Amino acid sequence: MSDKDWELFKQKVHTKSGINLNDYKPAQMQRRIGNMMSRHGAGSYVDFFGKLETDQKLYKDFVDFLTINVTEFFRTPEKFDELEKRVIPDLLKQSAKLNIWSAGCSIGAEPYSLAIMLNELTPQVRHRILATDLDIEMLAKAKQGTYTANELKNIPSARLAKYFKQADGKATINDDIRAKVEFGRHNLLVDKFETGFDLILCRNVVIYFTEAAKDSLYRRFFAALKPGGVLFVGGTEAILNFRDIGFSHYLPFFYRKPF
């Protein structure tokens, strides 16, 4: 397949979805998209895009594949333990009401995990939890708040009983926790960022981004944080140039904007 075909495909995907494949590592994207094309009998990028235009399920699967919608409650429990026992208590010393952004929230497991945690740490306080994602269908699922056993596997039974209604092998988040999260569509690589955040979580989102796209994103996160605010990234996404951006090291995979 020619470079011309790839360039045309990227343009068509950008027009249709708003996703700019130039911000993703080309070799990895071409390999992964090539595997998807083979599974669906597409011999060229043009052919594959034609299938995306006519098959809504395939298009949904393609967007899910690009935006890596794999998540679960309290993902990487040991890091959420640090968040609950050290990071959030430190932030609460600076501000009684926290402004938090879960960027790339997928099906809502991460922001709801935060809402549960904050409800236990500060039950009388109304914090703000903004949760955003590019994928409209994932946001719809997040707002619905119904999850499978695998997505809930890190939740202790006492918390599961307290915060979820269980039926037919699934569990739905309680309305009071659902009401603590504000959902919205947002493209991290294009749209403007709010400012004044105490904590930003962006975990397992940038794995296929180019280094330039990641650097730009982390600099924008830095600008969006309050002095003393913290950025929490995924376990494979250590920011090697965090000092150049302006961050100080706080804990592994937690970076702080100096006061």
pTM attached to this predicted model: 0.82
Q: What's the mean pLDDT in 166-186?
A: 95
Do 53 and 96 belong together in one domain? Answer: no
Q: Which residues pair with 181 in a beta bridge?
A: 129
Distance from C-alpha of 211 to C-alpha of 40, rounded to nearest angstrom: 30
Q: Pick from 46, 67, 88: which residue ends a domain?
A: 67
pLDDT 10s digits, 119-160 = 999 999 999 999 999 888 899 999 999 998 889 999 989 999
* 72 located within any domain: no
Based on the number of CB atoms within 10 Å of its own CB, is 192 exposed (0-12), middle (13-18) or buried (19 or more)? exposed
Do 119 and 229 belong together in one domain? Answer: yes
Q: Pick from 40, 67, 94: which residue ends a domain?
A: 67
Closest CA to 139 of 161, 110, 165: 110
Do 140 and 232 belong together in one domain? Answer: yes
Do 84 and 144 belong together in one domain? Answer: yes
Percent over 70 (pLDDT), the chain: 98
pLDDT of 62 strictly over 70 = yes
* 24 located within any domain: yes
CATH code of the domain containing 159:
3.40.50.150
Do 127 and 248 belong together in one domain? Answer: yes
* 189 located within any domain: yes
Predicted confidence at residue 23, as pLDDT, reads 86
Q: Which residues pair with 209 in a beta bridge?
A: 24
Helix (H, G, I), strand (E, B) or coil at 155: coil
Do 83 and 60 belong together in one domain? Answer: no
pLDDT 10s digits, 199-240 = 999 998 888 889 999 999 999 999 999 999 999 999 889 999
| Pair of tokens at residue 258 | 């100096």
Number of domains within the chain = 2
Mean pLDDT of the chain: 92
* 14 located within any domain: yes
Do 127 and 169 belong together in one domain? Answer: yes
Q: Pick from 24, 49, 67: which residue ends a domain?
A: 67
Do 53 and 133 belong together in one domain? Answer: no
Query: What is the domain range of residue 122?
Result: 77-256
